[in-house]
């Protein structure tokens, strides 16, 4: 079975707090790709990161960082020193190499960053 | 930003009428996708295309048809719209794992209301 679980439906933090969004995935494939997308209140879907299954190196981009752990099938996303502009729904997604390019989506985590 | 446009951006129609949504890309990607987004369901794949005149069904294809006569255009048609098809529709391009373009990039979305 292929599945993506984002257990946190909603998170509310105060500006400048650090926040971690969890993503747990299930797949039987050895080659797969993981993604994070951001959907701000304006509604567009913005690509944030792609990670290949054979590359467990963590990644940092400014205030954003991602922790990929195959041992726990997790691909968590941390925002450091959150800002109001980070308020959005964040989606984690899984793509198996042999799955006809079909993304498996989590249901998203709604993050509210309050001033 | 990937060159993807969707038209119309908003549409209100009545039950039983045909509706066609258009997705246009300027990136020459082989793969194109149609998703719908509904509260509680996240993003669900309707149909996708892997080349001109080559299309396949996604997980929620009933009541929808697609056509791709040119690389740059992917049309989604609701033959006879129903209220259950009220949703936000997203087009995406990319996802070709044979190249480096294995990330899906999304259009701005079309909000469709069926009364």
Token pair, residue A78, equals: 């941390």
**pLDDT for the residue A59:** 86
Considering chain A, what is the average pLDDT of its residues?
93
Contact between B104 and A103 using a beta-carbon 8 Å cutoff: yes
The average confidence (pLDDT) of chain B is 92
Scored b (16 or more CB within 10 A) or e, A48-78 reads ebbbebeeeeeeeeeebbbebeeeebbbbbb
Identify the residue among B30, B43, B98 best suited for mutation to test binding to A, counting A beta carbons within 10 A and taking the highest.
Answer: B43
Average pLDDT score over residue span B31-39: 94
- d(Cα B79, Cα B73) in Å, to the nearest integer? 18
For chain A, the residues whose C-beta falls within 8 A of a C-beta of chain B are: 33, 35, 37, 43-47, 50, 91, 95, 97, 100-103, 105-108
pLDDT exceeds cutoff 70 at B96: no
Min Cα separation B61/chain A (Å): 14
CB spacing of A47 vs B50 below 8 angstroms: no
What's the CA gap between B25 and B3, in Å, rounded?
A: 5
pLDDT at A40 over 90: yes
Task: Tell me the mean pLDDT in the region B47-76.
Answer: 95
The alpha carbon of residue B107 is apart from the nearest alpha carbon of chain A, in Å, by: 7
């Amino acid at each position: 079975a292929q599945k993506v679980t984002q257990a946190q439906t909603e998170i509310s933090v105060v500006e400048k707090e650090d926040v971690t969004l969890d993503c747990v995935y299930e797949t039987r494939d050895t080659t797969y790709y993981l993604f994070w997308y951001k959907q701000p209140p304006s509604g567009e879907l913005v690509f944030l990161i792609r990670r290949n299954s054979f590359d467990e190196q963590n990644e940092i981009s400014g205030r954003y960082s991602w922790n990929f752990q195959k041992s726990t099938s997790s691909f968590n996303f941390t925002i450091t020193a959150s800002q109001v502009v980070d308020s959005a729904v964040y989606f984690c997604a899984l793509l198996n190499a042999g799955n006809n390019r079909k993304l498996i989506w989590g249901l998203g985590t709604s993050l509210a960053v309050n001033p | 930003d990937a060159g993807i446009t969707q038209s119309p951006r908003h549409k209100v129609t009545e039950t039983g009428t045909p509706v066609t949504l258009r997705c246009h890309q300027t990136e020459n990607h082989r793969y194109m996708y149609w998703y719908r987004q509904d509260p509680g369901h996240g993003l669900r794949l309707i149909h996708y295309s892997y080349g001109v005149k080559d299309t396949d069904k996604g997980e929620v294809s009933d009541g929808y048809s697609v056509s791709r006569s040119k690389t740059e255009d992917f049309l989604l048609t609701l033959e006879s719209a129903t209220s259950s098809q009220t949703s936000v529709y997203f087009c995406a391009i990319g996802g070709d794992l044979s190249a480096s373009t294995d990330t899906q990039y999304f259009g701005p979305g079309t909000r469709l209301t069926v009364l």
